[in-house]
Structure 1
């Protein structure tokens, strides 16, 4: 029998899927601290992997479920377990899928018993009932499948989940009733779904409904009408680029052409369907298309090619342990082998099909296989066996006829029950709509009364708020102007201290000294350094922040020029913490230089012997702080004060005064916590200055 693509839609992905990049999600996860956020991120990572790598999806879902269970996050846990079931369903492990769906449903129903108003949980329960029902139907228990779908429908009606009814519940009920041959009920459910989709202009849903109605037309042998429905569906899917479900439309159009005996067109569209299904690794629907193509080639007399496709259907059916489909595949292979005159192999496949069909009471398949075995026995001169099989074929045909009659006689009762259910649904939906409208009107009336009472007070409050806000803005603007003015003054003062006339004059003298000695290399080298330092000072004195790399580079230039200026009176070392990325860490400019200058002028220069300066920069990443230590082995602060007091010419240093004012300003303006500590080393052997500087990481 040629196979239609009936789309049983498992709820594999939640409505609000997170399209994200796996790598970026993993990076966020590594920085996440709360357990709930970890569960959510692992769940999203699992959803991404679920589309491309089922095993990885199961791994991350399982990891998320363990954390959710440990921290009693039950609603998310139920959803995670459902998705693990989806993964197992996708690879054909229906037993494991069913196990996880039932476990998730148990958790979800317990949550519902505690909180009847949790609509998200009710939707999850409805989805789980749906998925369980489809597995039950797949296992042959369509009565249980319908009962479960009614439970799903009941929950969806409670929460007005018309989307879920249209995309899942109604199509699945229609498909199962269609399998049972109850086309009137099936059509009603498909039209219910179509009505919802047309009202919301959902083209994907409309296309699905057209496919279902086409299948029903085909079941009733109206192939031309079926082709019209399938073509409408195809046109919609092509417009929206729905490639995966295009494969179903192609397959169904191919089937319609098959029944219309246009085999070339049938092969063309079935081939298009197969090409897409092989890309998506959808084995179950691929099997159906293999079977269709095999039957077409069989009718065209190309038995070898037909056999190759039927053998593929055997392989997939056995892999999924689908006894009914395996039996059908055996019959197709056996029949084709008979056409090829390979009667021994044909008999083996047909006998296997006969045994399975007999054991499982597949009467429709027993009818086909007994007829085909009889033909094989006739061709191998086993006439008694051929006769017995024909007798059995006749008995089964009569039994099926009687079963059809019984089905027709009970159809009135079934339709009556169905109409009662439909009427109940309509009354329930009308009651829900009325109650909702009544509650909304009552709420609106209360809101009007409250609004009239509060409106005068709100106006007064708005006027007061405006006046307060206006006063605040005026004060803020004045304060900002004052801060800007003070910042400008400090920047100018800072620039003046950095552009120390003595420093510039001595640096230029040193460069002139090299020129007079014809030492052009040294002159050029130091002139270049001097120019770089001046440029840095001019460029960055007005900038709020500079990168640490530039600050350290300028300090090194400054120290090298001071070495030259004072005839290499001191050596220096700069140590930077290896963890520091100095290109991205930013600090206020020229904070460190005044302290280095102070160490040279008041610590090293009065010393009789050569000195040494150590500059260390370390990082505290947790608190975003740099620790800068400036250590000299000079004469120390006490000795320096003593020398200054003896000096008849008093030098008033404004550099440190401006620096202190600047620190106070920065701490106040940017809510920073820059602080300085000066430590006298033991035995008057120098001074240690500790600077703590918050930084920006960009």
Structure 2
């Protein structure tokens, strides 16, 4: 019983802004937070705000399509104030894309048509091509393949004219989808392979993932399910690598369908759960309907008819809401089979009738699609034949016209030559008479010319001298002006460099002061921790214990105390020169300290140190001497001198996401009770206490904001104390050691 529809990967492409150097220069540089800050700092409704709003809409759509809708609406709310109308067209395209993801098809078509209207006014061919392709996608999503094919062909022609090779690949993919739905799998596979080579060439990962998924669908329709699963998983790998939730949601849904067809219901439920989770996150209603149908099929195979019926009813409801005939047909058949299994023949027959009605509707649509495709092919062939005949006829007529024109030109040339000859004879006679007159005039004017030449020569010499002087004057003025401008520019550049250098030095000085102040505070806090951990009282008590064991001739115990005290001292001295140390060294120091205290107090309490198995202490960094005061307070404040027979101290370490949680708990007298106030006061005078720990937590939060915390609470049944420190997970190399 395999009825779950497979989602064809329709290649969506949005050209939000057409002007180069506007959105493109920001789109990869800013994220949602930084863009929001820029938007707050620019409340004026102008082109700049429109650009920022469209960028926010684009980023928001990556996580939730609804997030981009208010930003696009705001751009359109002040479109009359926008000078660059490309932003208005981009806002319409953005809204149309969001409506398409939300399965609001009429609104999507309306927005795309509005974008085309604006682009036609702007003569923006790129925007028109994008909108045509996406209108085809809207019809494709609704299963209206003739309309989709019409717009895909228009978009493909437009992209080929614009020589946009990447968008040609996208249109090839969409054409492959049409062929898949038409049942022409060979042609579909050919288009997908061509598109895949284009996407690989341009490293277009979304296109690669969609095309791989579509190839898997073709294999599925050919009942080659192993190949279908292989290509679908390749698409998921690409989608997850680029963080594309929609691709991952679709492919997990497809895998659910493939495994259901292979009669592997557990695998179908596994991948279907992932698909439902992701589609709910992006509010993809149509895809959720197919996911529910896959779940119904899987539970039917597991003979869990109650859950199968519930998911099938949800799938049918969504199919009716978004008007997807395939989904309504499959859900009706599933309900009919479930009610048959439940021995409810009336309900089974009612849903079977619905299944037949929807199936007949799809069959009619398929026939219409085939007739439309054949008609389009016939029209194309017919148009091509007429065009060729016209071209041959036009070429023949052109040759005849060229021959006639050549004859006319020859006759005209012959007449012109005769006329020119007659004119030449007349002109020759005139020239002879004029020549005689000119000879007389020349002889009369020769003398005048000679005298005029002498006068002109003298005048020319004087004029040349004046011109040379003028050129020298202009040259000197130009050189002086050029030198003045150069000196001014050099001084201006030098002043700017000095100002810039001064500003940089001031900023560096401020940063150095802040860094030195922070380091000073951190060093002071660490020094106080060292003093607390190795306070004289503790050292004195350990040495007294060693002396006591020596006096009692218990050399082995005394030797153990000396070795452990020496090891603890060496670890503390080694760790004290570092801001962060490997967790295994700190863990060892804490165990040594606790063991020394237990031996010093005659093992009057037990202790345990545990950490989660997935934590590798050698690869995690901890601030040194931060946890030891909590163990010291648990021993001295809560246990020693309280006559507790089952006294125990527990130190645990677990990891939650990017946070390391260290808990120190005891079953002593708790926070609000004490039986030995004198002892508590003495301990508090020597201990670093809670204030020092909070200071170090505060300094850690300055370096890693919001990542560290500290709390002390009463134990269960008001017995004992639980101290919890949360630290950021820092690996080796993350901090200074």
Separation in 1, partners of 2:8, 2:135: 17
Q: What is the CA-CA distance between 1:342 and the residue it aligns to?
A: 2.8
User: Which of 50, 54, 60 is residue 88 of structure 1 equivalent to?
Assistant: 60
Counterpart of 2:730 in structure 1 is none
Q: Give secondary structure in 2 for the equivalent of 1:68.
A: coil
Residue 9 (1) aligns with residue 13 (2): yes
Aligned counterpart for 2:40 among listed residues 66, 69, 87: 66
User: What are the equivalent positions in structure 2 for 1:191-340 lying under 5 Å apart?
Assistant: 191-340=153-302
Contact preservation (8 Å) 1:19, 1:48: no
Local SS of the residue matching 1:48 = coil
The answer to whether the aligner puts 1:49 opposite 2:49 as a matched pair is no
CA contact (8 A) 2:196 2:211 kept: yes
| Alignment partner of 1:471 is 2:473 | no
Deviation at 1:272, TM superposition (A): 1.5
- Per chain length, whose mean CA-contact separation is higher, i.e. which structure has more relative contact order (CA < 8 Å, sep 6+)? 2
Q: How does 1:296-695 map to 2 (within 5 A)?
A: 296-357=258-319, 363-397=325-359, 470-472=475-477
Aligned-residue offset at 1:295: 2.1
Normalising by structure 1, report the TM-score. 0.50
Distance 1:172 1:464 in 2: 74
Distance 1:468 1:163 in 2: 58
* Structure 1 unaligned regions, length at least 5: 21-43, 51-56, 113-117, 416-462, 480-543, 549-577, 583-698
Shift of 1:156: 1.1
Paired with 1:13 and 1:274, the residues of 2 have a C-alpha distance of 29
The alpha carbon displacement at 1:228 in A equals 0.4
Deviation track 1:129-187 (CA, whole Å, cap 9, x = no partner) reads 11212333344442332232122112112222112222x21211121233344444433
2:53/2:71 contact within 8 Å kept: yes
Give the CA deviation at 1:265. Answer: 2.6
Q: Give, in whole Å, the separation in 1 of the partners of 2:207 and 2:473.
A: 62
- 1:171 maps to 133
Cα distance change on mapping 1:7 and 1:303 into 2, 3 Å: same
Q: 1:466 to 1:79 in 2, by over 3 A?
A: farther
8 Å CA contact retained: 2:17, 2:90: no
TM-score between both structures, scaled by the size of structure 2: 0.48
Output one character per residue of 1:384-414: Cα deviation in whole Å (capped at 9) or x when no partner.
Answer: 4323332443455467678999x99xx99xx
- Residue 319 of structure 1 deviates from its aligned partner by 2.2
- Is the CA contact 1:247–1:277 (under 8 Å) kept in the aligned structure 2? yes
Distance in 1 (CA, whole Å) between partners of 2:470 and 2:328 is 86
User: Equivalent residue of 2:228, what SS?
Assistant: helix
Aligned to 2:404: none
Q: In the alignment, which of 136, 141, 144 is matched to residue 107 of structure 2? A: 144
Q: Give 3-state SS (helix, strand or coil) of 2:41's partner.
A: helix
Alpha-carbon distance, 1:464 to partner: 12
Counterparts in 2 of 1:346 and 1:581: CA distance versus 1, 3 Å: closer
Of 70, 83, 89, 1:99 maps to 70
* Counterpart position of 1:111: 81
> 1:360 and 1:212 mapped to 2: Cα distance?
21
Q: Report Cα offsets for 1:629-665 as digits up to 9, x if no partner.
A: xxxxxxxxxxxxxxxxxxxxxxxxxxxxxxxxxxxxx
Equivalent pairs, count: 398
The CA deviation string for residues 45-89 of structure 1, in whole angstroms up to 9 with x for no partner, is 785233xxxxxx2x32232223322xx351211222222222332
Is 1:155 the counterpart of 2:118? The answer is yes
Q: Deviations over 1:570-597 (max 9, x none)?
A: xxxxxxxx96999xxxxxxxxxxxxxxx
Change beyond 3 A, Cα 1:45–1:11: closer
Per-residue Cα deviation, 1:223-264 (whole angstroms, up to 9, x for no partner): 110110110111122223223321122112222222233333
CA distance in 2, matches of 1:160, 1:237: 28
In structure 2, distance between residues paired with 1:180 and 1:467? 83
Compared CA separation, residues 216 and 355, structure 1 to 2 (3 A): closer
Ranges in structure 2 where 5+ consecutive residues have no aligned partner: 377-467, 485-493, 499-504, 510-737
Indicate the RMSD between aligned Cα atoms, in angstroms. Answer: 4.1
- Kept in 2, the 8 Å contact 1:17–1:47? The answer is no
Residues 464, 306 of structure 1: alpha-carbon distance in 2 compared, 3 angstrom cutoff: farther
CA distance in 2, matches of 1:236, 1:178: 22
- The structural deviation recorded for 1:125 is 0.8
How far residue 300 of structure 1 moved from its aligned partner, in angstroms, is: 2.6
What is the DSSP-based 3-state SS (H/G/I as helix, E as strand, rest coil) of the residue aligned with 2:78? helix
Q: How many Å apart are 1:340 and its aligned residue? A: 2.4
Secondary structure in 2 aligned to 1:49? coil
Instruction: For residue 101 of structure 1, report the CA deviation from its aligned partner.
Output: 0.9
